Chains A and B, each alone.
Chain A
Amino acid sequence: MTTPLSPAAGTHVELAPGRAPAGFVSRLLAQPGPAVSAVFLACVLAMALVAPFIPGLDPNEVSLSNVLEGPSWGHWLGYDNIGRDIVSRLVFASRVSLTAAAVAMLVALAIGLPLGLVSGYFAGRLDLALSRVFDALIAFPPLVLAIVVVAVLRPGIVPAMIAIGIINAPTFYRVVRSAALDLRSETYIEAARVAGASSTRIMLRHVLPNIRAVLLVQIALTMSSAIIVEASLSFIGLGVQLPQASWGSMLRQATSYMGSAPLTFVLSPIVTIVAVVLAFNTLSDGLRGAFGRRDTR
């Protein structure tokens, strides 16, 4: 039915000057899911940071008399196969996993952001060339590439995550490029040119601040996928090596003992990974909603 249903453009109610539209953070926290996720991730991060300073939390202290024991007072998740406290290992593992994911995300950002900005702002031949390069990169299956890198270099999480970062760069590139392309037609970009701004200044002072929204969303999403990749690599033994713990390597250990180990041994890394990934994804949804329609009219 073709009855016209869209109200005319320009229908709006203006807010009084001085009363800026409800702050971004409060808009984010007004949504229940993202609010919970943000708090949860903040706690995980906080714990990871202070872990070395908490007495009694030692991932390497071996207590052979408690091997594969279940939860008890003081050791809420029990002991692993050589008697180490699972809680301690989990907390210290989060340092490793989060750092690894952050490395991958930062590498992807460092490559994708500047190139996406340049591509989107200048367009033309430069854009065509760069886009083809990134299109090729995106064709690589990330995990396979990581395995190859690790196999060729040496087992270790850092080279693998750098490779993952490079693989994720095209996503940042595309997202930044498309946002920058959208902005090109905004009059304030032209106005900046008329005011004498150089291209660099325009990209840094006019384009970048106005693509904050998509950037933050992409950062959250990349973190969540990088955590999964790291966990997968470590699970198959190519990532973090013992005695260092990551969530994935803990899972690897646990699977060998599935029959005899307490449930918490296997479940704790799984639940942690799922929870953190879910939190990052929910947060990214919330970020999208919090930026929403910018009040420009």
Chain B
Amino acid sequence: MSSRADASALEETNGTRPLPLLAVSGLSIDIAMAGRTTRVVDDVSFEIHDGEAVALVGESGSGKTMTALSILGLLPRGATASGSIRFREQQLAGLPESSLNRIRGKSIAIIYQEPMSSLNPALTVGEQIAETVRHHLGLGRGAAKERAVELLAMVGIPEPAARIHDYPHMFSGGMLQRVGIAMALSCEPALLIADEPTTALDATVQAQVLELLASLRDKSRTSLLFLTHDFGAVAALCDRAVVMYCGEVVEVASAEALFDRPLHPYTEGLLGAMARLDRNTEPIPIKGTVPLHADFPEGCHFHPRCSYVVPACTIAPIAEIAVASRRVRCRRFRELNLKGSA
């Protein structure tokens, strides 16, 4: 993992960074509810390169799920997105359903927190995987079935040839999530979006799935957009992290840099609030609570909870500032010396 980060840093300094696989730029999402329009995602930008695993980190209300859904055009009714979502050379924002359907499942796939969200309980898992590959790749019945067995084996399900005939309810939680991953990978997508895929799983099973995702990323150069609020998973799996708070991106950095030295007080707060198994440090709660969408404060959204707030933080919205290969939305980052968790 570190060699890859080194390689991309080197490419950057040489100015030869290839075209990103996914480039989200100025994405904003508004939701109309109860007669009011609320902005739940505001001017979000980030990139994912080939073979890179990027974590989208945030708690509830951060807007990370909405951001991920908008990439695939899966926003709920009443939500409108504006901004640019480029997948390779193609602009995804505003694309009609028919074109999006060709991309979903084939070039960009998604796995959910609850594996049953994407599985039909009335069909065997073999049938479902086969249907996807027949539809997107045009494979014949026999080839599709073989691919299904191959995929189940790839995600570590024992006796795959027998298990393609099983229905979803015959799988346990961890196994079912692997099936979900197998389905998502069936057409060899370039980008896999994982929405908190391990949150609902037991600890030892979580570890298995994270190992699986790491090995798949290493073997097949599939890029990963990993939504999570668990920094442990970020450390285990991701190259870079995008931290979101109240609908905005507050920090972007490589995983190592983020844990070594965060630049945004919210990131520092999150790292400090985690209980750790390897150290006896007392978790320090971030004071205050996440504001509701209707009550976002003036100026920096985080300022009521920030230990480093100065009057200038409360007046005007803060812009993102780029420094080296990182970005941060904080006026004071240069003078602050924030504590990481490494």
Contact = CB atoms under 8 A, between A and B. Distances in A.
Q: Within 8 Å by CB, do A and B touch in the complex?
A: yes
A72 interface: no
Nearest to B100: A3
A4 to B, nearest CB: 3
Given A11-B66, A11-B69, A13-B40, A4 B110 contact: yes
A10 interface: yes
Contacts of B60: 10
A40 B132 CA distance: 53
Interface in A6-20: 6-11, 13-17, 19
A21 B35 CA distance: 12
Contacts of B117: 4, 6, 8-9
Given A9-B114, A13-B31, A15-B292, A3 B65 contact: no
Interface in A278-296: none
Given A2-B128, A7-B69, A7-B74, A13 B118 contact: no
Contacts of B40: 13
A5 interface: yes
Contacts, number: 67
Contacts of B112: 4, 6, 8
Size bin of chain B's contact surface: 35 or more
A152 interface: no
B34 interface: yes
Contacts of A195: none
A1 interface: yes
B135 interface: yes
B168 to A, nearest CB: 12
B325 interface: no
A23 to B, nearest CB: 11
Tell me if A's interface is mostly helix, strand, loop or mixed.
loop
B33 A16 contact: no
A15 B294 contact: yes
Contact of A3 (B31, B61, B105, B295): B105
A22 interface: yes
A22 B33 CA distance: 11
B183 interface: yes
B69 to A, nearest CB: 6
Interface string B60-90: 1100011001000011100000000000000
B33 A1 contact: no
Given A8-B195, A13-B40, A16-B294, A2 B65 contact: no
A4 B118 CA distance: 5
Given A2-B131, A6-B117, A21 B34 contact: yes
Contacts of A17: 292
B331 interface: no
B307 interface: no
A7 B66 CA distance: 9
B17 interface: no
B120 interface: yes
A3 B132 CA distance: 8
A174 B87 CA distance: 53
B163 interface: no
A3 B131 CA distance: 10
Contacts of B305: none
B183 A8 contact: no
Nearest to B74: A7
B76 A3 contact: no
Contacts of A5: 74
Contacts of A3: 101, 104-105, 132
Interface string B292-305: 11110000000000
Nearest to B104: A3
B38 interface: yes
B45 interface: no
B34 A14 contact: no
B118 A6 contact: yes
A245 B295 CA distance: 61
A93 B34 CA distance: 43
A8 B135 contact: no
B239 interface: no
B113 interface: yes
A3 B112 CA distance: 12
B105 A14 contact: no
A165 B95 CA distance: 57
A24 B16 CA distance: 60
A13 B33 CA distance: 9
B42 interface: no
B248 interface: no
Given A2-B128, A4-B110, A14 B293 contact: yes
A21 B113 CA distance: 28
Contacts of A6: 112, 117-118
B183 A2 contact: yes
Contact of B65 (A11, A14, A16, A22): A11
B196 interface: yes
Contacts of B183: 2
Interface string A20-47: 0110000000000000000000000000
Interface string B264-291: 0000000000000000000000000000
A14 B131 contact: no
Given A3-B105, A11-B65, 9 more contacts: A1-B101, A2-B105, A2-B120, A2-B131, A8-B65, A11-B66, A15-B292, A15-B294, A19-B294
22 contacts: A2-B120, A2-B128, A2-B131, A2-B183, A3-B101, A3-B104, A3-B132, A4-B105, A4-B117, A7-B75, A8-B112, A8-B113, A8-B117, A9-B113, A9-B114, A10-B60, A11-B66, A14-B292, A15-B34, A15-B294, A16-B295, A21-B34
Q: What 7 pairs across the A-B complex have the smallest Cβ distances?
A: A4-B118, A16-B294, A8-B195, A3-B105, A3-B104, A14-B292, A16-B292
